[in-house]
Every structure is written in structure tokens, then in C-alpha cells.
């Protein structure tokens, strides 16, 4: 996780350790999702459309497909083919804000199927609780002004914890901190 963050910092033209200051006593957590076999997969979703909100999500599965990514240009859902022994890396909301929209977190969902059960293990890196999340100063210029208001990660996290993912229309999301934009319904 730390090495990935170093590479991402370098890709933005920042020193490799630029994000370290936001990670003191920070929290990584893991979650295991179980998607049972479903006799009517066309009627249900394993996990509805959403964006991840922390820094990075690392995802491994039992190599049963199901993860779909929403292509921004036309809104089409694209199914990710599982690659054995690989890890899927999802850039999440905090990275979108830190990079001032250079990176964008992708809308994704999980579909189920009638043949195979599916497991996924998700490891999430979050900033330290007290961190105020805002675009990295070096990436903000007169030509590229800050696109987000700052927010405290801990408050954001707690607010999402108490909302149910199935009711994300009301849950807080990073676009709520986008400057010059009205609050839009989720995704
Ligand atoms: O199971 C998957 O492939 C993705 C799960 C997911 O998006 C999540 O837990 O946030
Ligand atoms: Fe996700």
C-alpha cells in the first residue's frame, strides 16, 4: 500500500513520501464480501453502484467475475475479467481530492450469477482520522485552482459509517465538497 502511494505521488510530480504526513496512526481495514449463487441474477445486484471513498482499495477475489466498472464516456458497464493472482487497485475519493481531479474514482458495482458463489477481499487505506482532506498545495495553481473544499476525514468516515450503503442517495460523498457544484444524487 505504502509503495503504491509512493508511486502515485511520483506520478503527480510530488516527492515519493508526500502522502506520509497524512498517514500517522492511520487505519487500514479489510472486509470480506460474500455473494451467494443467485437463481435470478438479472433481478438483483451483489453490490449497488458506488464509489470508494478512502485513499486506495485493493481487491482480490476467488476468480469469479462480477465486478463491473462504469465507463464515463457513455455510462456503459464493463465487466472486469478476473486475472489469476492479481490485485485490483481502485483509486478512491481521497486520492481524487488530493490530486485535484487528476485521478478520478470510478463508479463500480458487483453483479451476481447463478453458477458460482463469489468472494472478494477488500483492503482499504484511509488517512489519519484528524486529517483535513484537500487538494495537495503543490498541485493547486492559478490555472488549476482547487476544485474541492476541505473536509475532515474522520467526520466524513463516521458519517458514512452510520449510513447504509443501500441508501447511498443520502450518504455523504466527496462530490459534496466539490467547489461550484450543487449536491447531485449519488453516482
Ligand atoms: O467484490 C468486488 O469486486 C468489489 C467490492 C466493492 O466494490 C467494495 O467492497 O467496495
Ligand atoms: Fe467498492
Domains of the chain with bracketed CATH: 26-177 (2.60.120.330)
Average per-residue pLDDT for the chain: 90
Task: Compute, in angstroms, the gap from residue 174 CA to the centroid of ligand 1.
Answer: 18
Q: Which ligand is nearest to the CA of 121?
A: 1
Mean pLDDT computed over 157-168: 70
CA distance 170 to 10: 35
Is the pLDDT at 12 greater than 70? The verdict is yes
Contacts of residue 83, Cβ cutoff 8 Å, sequence gap at least 6? none
Residue nearest to atom 9 of ligand 1 (CA): 122
Q: Which atom of ligand 1 is nearest to the CA of 109?
A: 7
Ordered DSSP codes for 60-117? EESS---EEEE-TTT--EEEPPP-TT--EEEE-HHHHHHTTTSS-PPPEEEE--SS--
Task: Compute, in angstroms, the gap from residue 178 CA to the centroid of ligand 1.
Answer: 25
What is the tens place of the pLDDT at every residue in 33-77?
Answer: 999 999 999 999 999 999 999 999 999 999 899 999 999 999 999
What residues sit around ligand 2, an ion, with C-beta below 5 angstroms?
A: 52
DSSP character for 8? H
The answer to whether 107 and 49 are in contact (CB under 8 A) is: yes
pTM for the whole structure: 0.88
Which residue, 115, 124, 119, 113, is CA-closest to 33? 119
What is the tens place of the pLDDT at every residue in 95-122?
Answer: 999 999 999 999 999 999 999 999 999 9
Amino acid at each position: 500500500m505504502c509503495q503504491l502511494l509512493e508511486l502515485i505521488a511520483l506520478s503527480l510530480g510530488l516527492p515519493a513520501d508526500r502522502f506520509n504526513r497524512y498517514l500517522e496512526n492511520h487505519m487500514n481495514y479489510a472486509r470480506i464480501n460474500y455473494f451467494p449463487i443467485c437463481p435470478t441474477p438479472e433481478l438483483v445486484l451483489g453490490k449497488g453502484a458506488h464509489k470508494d471513498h478512502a485513499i486506495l482499495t485493493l481487491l482480490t477475489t476467488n476468480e469469479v467475475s462480477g465486478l463491473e466498472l462504469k465507463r464515463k464516456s457513455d455510462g456503459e458497464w464493463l465487466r472486469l475479467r478476473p486475472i489469476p493472482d492479481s490485485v485490483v487497485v481502485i483509486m478512491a475519493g481521497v486520492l481524487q481530492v488530493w490530486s485535484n481531479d487528476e485521478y478520478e474514482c470510478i463508479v463500480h458495482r458487483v453483479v451476481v450469477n447463478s453458477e458460482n458463489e463469489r468472494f472478494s477481499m477488500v483492503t482499504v487505506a484511509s488517512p489519519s482520522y484528524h486529517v483535513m482532506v484537500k487538494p495537495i498545495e503543490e498541485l493547486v495553481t492559478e490555472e488549476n485552482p482547487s476544485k474541492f473544499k476541505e473536509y475532515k476525514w474522520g467526520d466524513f468516515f463516521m458519517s458514512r459509517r452510520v449510513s447504509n450503503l443501500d441508501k447511498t442517495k443520502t450518504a455523504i460523498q466527496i462530490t459534496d465538497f466539490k467547489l461550484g457544484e450543487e449536491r447531485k444524487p449519488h453516482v
